[in-house]
């Protein structure tokens, strides 16, 4: 009966080895008796309950995605979310919110490179400079746009400086 094949059989040699070696080591190192079983166990039993089951089909994180997956993710997650957020902020100005609103009109020429075309902010204090320029939209950037995009991409951000792994300059050019 091949259906009764059990993967445990495959592991037997490892366990036997661990157990047979164990008594010899334990004389010298009595403080380590937990180690051999620990290496044998996790391969078989389900690990942490929360880790695996809920989202088995979920694609990789942004950092692991290839170009094709990133395009898809931008279209399915980033664009719809940001579109509704920008339209909530100002329906008139952002009536048509597109990939190009962030990426710039020449976005295919530059091969999706970001930042590309958005309002330049100084490297040192982007938020402060932005507030001086337009306090209202800066609040929207700090409170909504920055956190939401960073979370979608699974990257770290800092609302107080606007710098870090994902910051103002992930979208905005650096002012000279």
Footprint on this chain of ligand HEC (rule: CB under 6 A)? 67, 70-71, 74-75, 78-79, 82, 99, 101-103, 112, 114, 118-119, 121, 126-127, 130, 133-134, 137-138, 141-142, 145-146, 149, 153, 162, 166, 168, 170-172
| Residue 34 C-beta: closest distance to ligand HEC, Å | 42
Buried b (16+ CB within 10 A) or exposed e, 30-68: eeeeeebeeebeeeeeeeeeeeeeeeeeeeeebeebeee
d(CA 114, CA 128): 22
Q: Which is nearer to ligand HEC, 36 or 166 (CB)?
A: 166
| Residue 86 C-beta: closest distance to ligand HEC, Å | 7
Q: Which is nearer to ligand HEC, 43 or 61 (CB)?
A: 61
| Residue 106 C-beta: closest distance to ligand HEC, Å | 14
| Residue 42 C-beta: closest distance to ligand HEC, Å | 33
Q: Which is nearer to ligand HEC, 18 or 139 (CB)?
A: 139
Q: Which is nearer to ligand HEC, 37 or 75 (CB)?
A: 75
Q: Which is nearer to ligand HEC, 15 or 118 (CB)?
A: 118
Return the half-sphere exposure (C-beta side, CA atoms, 13 A cut-off) of residue 149: 25
| Residue 109 C-beta: closest distance to ligand HEC, Å | 14
């Amino acid at each position: 009966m091949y259906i009764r094949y059990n993967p445990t059989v495959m592991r037997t040699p490892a366990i036997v080895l661990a157990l047979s070696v164990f008594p010899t080591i334990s004389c010298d190192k009595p403080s380590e008796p937990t180690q051999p079983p620990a290496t044998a166990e996790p391969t078989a039993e389900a690990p942490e309950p929360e880790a695996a089951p809920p989202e088995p089909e979920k694609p990789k994180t942004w950092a692991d995605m290839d170009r094709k997956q990133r395009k898809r993710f931008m279209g399915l997650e980033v664009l719809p979310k940001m579109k509704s957020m920008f339209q909530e902020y100002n329906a008139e100005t952002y009536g048509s919110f597109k990939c190009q609103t962030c990426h710039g009109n020449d976005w295919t020429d530059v091969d999706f490179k970001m930042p590309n075309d958005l309002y330049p902010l100084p490297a040192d204090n982007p938020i402060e400079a932005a507030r001086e320029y337009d306090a209202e939209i800066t609040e929207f950037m700090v409170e909504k746009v920055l956190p939401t995009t960073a979370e979608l991409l699974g990257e770290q951000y800092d609302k107080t400086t606007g710098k870090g792994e994902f910051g103002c300059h992930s979208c905005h050019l650096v002012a000279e």
